[in-house]
Amino acid sequence: MTAFPEAPYLLADPSRYGHVTLLGAGPGDPELLTLKGAKALQRASLLLYDALVSEEILALAPPTAERLYVGKQASRHALPQEQIIELMLRLARSGRSLVRLKGGDGYIFGRGGEEAIALAEAGVPFSVIPGLSAAQGAGASAGIPLTHRDHAGALVFATGHLRADRNAVDLDWQALARPRQTLVIYMGVGTLPIICRELVAHGLAADTPAAIVERATLPDERCLTGTVTTLPVLAARQKVRTPALIVIGSVVGLRPLLAQRRREITELEACA
């Protein structure tokens, strides 16, 4: 049997490794950061943060904290994911504790699971602080309850990323097109026409209500509503950009009442 040399980190003393905190920053509004997350930031000496983390949230860390941007946006990556993981491990092995800060919740299409596995396999101590997910933030802010016993008995999250061949989205369309469920698509702005076409082709009613929520929970949030057939045209006409989530299901039909009532209450509070 061939003997392979041990990896350098296995020769180091694990007791001297830094601690990594995988922290979800929430959907955007800094007030939606959890109390535990805020406390972790206030103690931080080093941050590795993503594109969707606001300046207001970064400002919760001490002024002396080092900030390293490792964000990823559509086709524009400061660092590939593999290099982010390697950087995180290298810093921790050198004895530096750090906060790995992501928008939303890192375990929901945030690659937090990949990073946690890498830390566990390397023997680096880590903890996970969840964040309010982008889906939760978008639903509450836009007036779309993601579940409702009269409309949806299931809630499904999916990613709208293109396959490596760039020609299709690799999803179980038959399962996603089932009735009486709410479907939330992350990272689907660029593939919205494909998503809607495939859902209808696999049995979803063409008049199923659908919405796209851009920059959810932030002051410039936009929400466009239509049907699974009309939404791609509306989104293209209004030049919707990332970050945005797609919500499909009859719960979207509840938005006119809930969003209007929310606006009225906000206006009354502002005048009080």
Cα–Cα dist 216/190, whole Å:
17
Alpha-carbon distance 201 to 220, whole Å? 34
Q: How far apart are CA 195 and CA 60, in angstroms?
A: 38
pLDDT at 140: 95
- pTM comes to 0.88
For the cut 80, the answer to whether the pLDDT of residue 92 exceeds it is yes
Cβ atoms of residues 255 and 204 within 8 Å = no
* 81's tokens: 């994911």
Who contacts 120 (Cβ-Cβ below 8 Å, separation ≥6)? 126
DSSP state of 73: E
Name the pLDDT band for 262 (thresholds 50, 70, 90). Answer: low
Catalytically annotated residue among 13, 36, 72, 220: 72
pLDDT of residue 9: 45
Structure tokens at 173: 């369309």
Backbone φ and ψ for 53, nearest 5 degrees, come out as: -95, 125
The pLDDT mean for the chain works out to 90
36 is an active site residue: no
pLDDT in tens, 114-145: 999 999 999 999 999 999 999 999 999 999 99
Point out the catalytic residue in the list 29, 39, 50, 170: 50
Q: Is 50 a catalytic residue?
A: yes
Cβ(112)–Cβ(127) below 8 Å: no
Give the per-residue pLDDT at 3: 37
Residues in the chain: 272
One-letter amino acid at 207 equals D
Q: How confident is the model at residue 2 (pLDDT cuts 50, 70, 90)?
A: very low
| C-beta of residue 64 within 8 angstroms of C-beta of residue 42 | no
pLDDT at 91: 97
Give how far Cα 251 sits from Cα of 13, 97, 198, 248, 265, Å. Answer: 53, 43, 20, 8, 21
243: preceding bond cis by omega (within 30 degrees): yes
Closest CA to 32 of 101, 145, 133: 133
DSSP state of 133: -
For residues 23 and 37, the answer to whether their CB atoms sit within 8 Å is yes
66 has a pLDDT exceeding 80: yes
CA atoms of 11 and 72, how far apart (whole Å): 32
User: Rounded to 5 degrees, what are φ and ψ at 179?
Assistant: -75, 170
Cα–Cα dist 198/193, whole Å: 9
Evaluate whether 135 touches 144 at the Cβ level (below 8 Å).
Answer: no
Backbone CA torsion sign across 207, 157, 105, 94: negative
Q: Are 106 and 22 in contact (CB under 8 A)?
A: yes
**φ, ψ of residue 239 in degrees (nearest 5):** 55, 50
